[in-house]
Every structure is written in structure tokens, then in C-alpha cells.
A = this chain, B = another copy of it.
Amino acid sequence: MKVFGLAIHGGAGNIQKEYMTPELERAYEEKLSEALEVGYKLLASGAPSLNVAEETIKVLEDSPLFNAGKGSVFNHQGKIEMDAAIMNGENLTAGAVAGVKNIKNPITLARKVLDISDHVFLIGEGAEQFAKDNSIDFEDDRYFFDHKRWEQFQKIRDTEATQLDHSQSNVDILENNKFGTVGAVALDQQGNLASGSSTGGVTNKKHGRVGDSPVIGSGLYANHQCAVSSTGHGEYFLRNVVAYDIVKSIELSSLSLKEVCENTINKKLADIGGLGGVIAIDKNGLVAMPFNTPGMYRAFKTSNEEGCVRMYDY
């Protein structure tokens, strides 16, 4: 049997043990494990990596814990605008959507663009019309943010964090934890790679801001050699074309996936002040998950390695 596996992330940011409660830590670990198992089982049963990227991201989008789908943050107008993209490394097909409202699973909309549209990248009302034309699930505003649960988390964290560090703004910590995206990369038994990403953007964003998540090359990329999905301060990822920087370095250099990913995140991106991380898997099932923030929600599992579920810098 050929090697297969996947890696997922739930965002990078100021994720540190001292700001966590045991309950919250467990909630994140459980949801990451659940998404990982959904994807791994699909891969083990022979499913294509493209389906695995979509299905895994759907699990994370459906949770209020992550800034994507249901857990998306509010923009300046108190609305939720989401972005997502997915790419098939087998044939370099891709689908991306940006600035879409009330779509239950933006990753599924991106997948529909990949599958049936002549276009790659749809935005705003046009993308929502495409969703309606193709029977994609919508949800009303109430679905997208569980205020009670969020306020609960906030209170728990405030109590916990103020006891530990009075110099930190707990709201900042909270928001930093929601800074980012969710993403998945997968290698299937046929040797094909795929990647996907989905985000609710940044809190209080104005002016129709789009980050790197729906941008092929910056937020994600997949070809025959590797698949990458990014998370972090989107503007810096756009300016550095992070995902393709990694993919092209793999093509042209003799460095390993780990070395290439670390160069891009800890040198190239850090040089211009960019914070965040990536998950990547190559055609041999090797995984890299570097980040230059205090933490990143992440997990991986392959047919060769037991893998792990992590969030801190250890």
C-alpha cells in the first residue's frame, strides 16, 4: 500500500498554555482530533485527497472554535464575510470564493467552483448567486455565531489570564486566537495531493478586505510534489506568495520539505514582519508544520507516522 496522510490547522496566533483553561484546551484537541480522524478514515478507505481536504475543513467550519464557517468573526458592519479555496494537485484545478455571506460551508462552495465553473475565483454577490444556482447550503445570521458560548469562553479566559499576566489585554489574546483560518493538506493512496483553506477573516475588518486564504499561491497550493495551506497575517502572506514560494523551492532546490517550509516562515516571511505558519505534505507523505507565532492549532497523521495534535510551541 502506498503512503497516505494529512495535516490540518485551525489558525496560528498567541496561543499559549497560560491563557488556556483545561476545558478549552480539551475542546480544541477534541475538535482537531475529530477532523483528523474524519480525513484519515477517508484516506484509508481510498478516497481522493481533494475530498479529504473538503471534508476535513467542513468539520472545522462547523465548529464555533475556529475562525471559519460557523465560528467566523464579525466585520466592521457586524456582518460575516468568508473566504475559501481548494486546489487539486493532480491537475492544478482550483476553486476560490471571497467575501461570501451566509454560506454554511465556504469550502464546499469553493469545491463546486473547482468542479463545474469555467472560472477559478468568484467574489461577493456573484459568488453567492453561483451558490444559489448550484444548491449550496445557506444559513441565516443566527447560525454563524454562538454568542453565549463565545462570551463564556471569554469570561473563562479573562479570569484565567488576568491571574497570570496583567500586562496582556485579554481581548487581544482572545482575538489573536481567532486570527487566522482553517486548512487541510492531504496525500491519497493514488499519490495525489490537495490543499484547502477557509476563513472568516479578521475581526472588525473594513472595506471588503480579503486576506491570503482564497488566493491560489498565497493561502494554498498543490501540485504533484507537495500541498501547502497557510494561516496568519494575510497581508504578509500575499506579499510573499507563501504557499507557492514553498512549492517552487521544492521544485528547484535540493532542500527537504521541512527546511523549505522553515526558510519561508522563519526567514522570508519573518523578514518583513509576517506572523503565521503553514502545514505541508509532500508526495512521500512527509509533513511540515512550522510557525513563527507562539502557537498554532495543528494536527497530522500518516500511514507511516502516528502523528500528533498540538497547539503550543512544543
Give the interface of A toward B (CB within 8 A). Answer: 87, 91-94, 98-99, 117-127, 129-130, 205-211, 215-218, 221, 234-235, 238-241, 244-245, 248-249, 252-253, 272
Contact = CB atoms under 8 A, between A and B. Distances in A.
B94 A209 contact: no
A205 B119 CA distance: 9
A79 to B, nearest CB: 10
9 contacts: A99-B123, A119-B205, A120-B239, A121-B235, A124-B208, A125-B208, A129-B207, A130-B206, A217-B241
The interface residues of chain A, by DSSP majority, are classed as mixed
B209 A121 contact: yes
Given A217-B218, A238-B216, A252-B252, A122 B208 contact: yes
Given A217-B217, A235-B118, A248-B244, A272 B126 contact: no
B119 A207 contact: yes
Nearest to A247: B241
6 smallest beta-carbon distances between A and B, as pairs = A126-B208, A217-B241, A126-B207, A217-B217, A252-B252, A248-B248
A117 to B, nearest CB: 7
Given A94-B238, A124-B124, A124-B208, 8 more contacts: A87-B239, A121-B210, A121-B235, A122-B208, A130-B208, A215-B216, A216-B239, A217-B218
How many copies altogether? Answer: 2
A210 B123 contact: yes
Contact of A241 (B99, B126, B207, B244): B244
Contacts of A124: 99, 123-125, 208
A126 B210 CA distance: 10
Given A126-B206, A248-B248, A239 B99 contact: no
Contacts of A126: 99, 206-209
Given A125-B208, A126-B208, A209-B122, A241 B253 contact: no
A280 to B, nearest CB: 16
Contacts of A99: 123-124, 126
Contacts of A87: 239
B239 A94 contact: yes
Contacts of A253: 252
Given A239-B93, A248-B249, A121 B217 contact: no
A99 B126 CA distance: 10
Nearest to A248: B248
B92 A130 contact: no
